[in-house]
Amino acid sequence: GENVEQHPSTLSVQEGDSAVIKCTYSDSASNYFPWYKQELGKGPQLIIDIRSNVGEKKDQRIAVTLNKTAKHFSLHITETQPEDSAVYFCAALGSGTTDSWGKLQFGAGTQVVVTP
Shortest distance, position 44 Cβ to another protein, whole Å: 5
Question: Residues interacting with another protein, by CB under 8 A?
Answer: 1, 4, 6, 9, 32, 34, 36, 41-46, 49, 89, 91, 93, 102-109
When the beta carbons of 78 and 101 are compared against another protein, the nearer one is 101
When the beta carbons of 1 and 16 are compared against another protein, the nearer one is 1
77-102 b/e (C-beta count within 10 Å ≥ 16 → b): beebeeebbbbbbbbbbbbeeeebee
27 contacts 35 by C-beta, under 8 angstroms: no
The candidate with the shortest Cα–Cα distance to 30, out of 93, 89, 91, is 93
Shortest distance, position 81 Cβ to another protein, whole Å: 23
Determine the distance from the C-alpha atom of residue 47 to the mean position of all C-alpha atoms in its chain, rounded to a whole number: 9
Shortest distance, position 15 Cβ to another protein, whole Å: 25
When the beta carbons of 51 and 61 are compared against another protein, the nearer one is 51
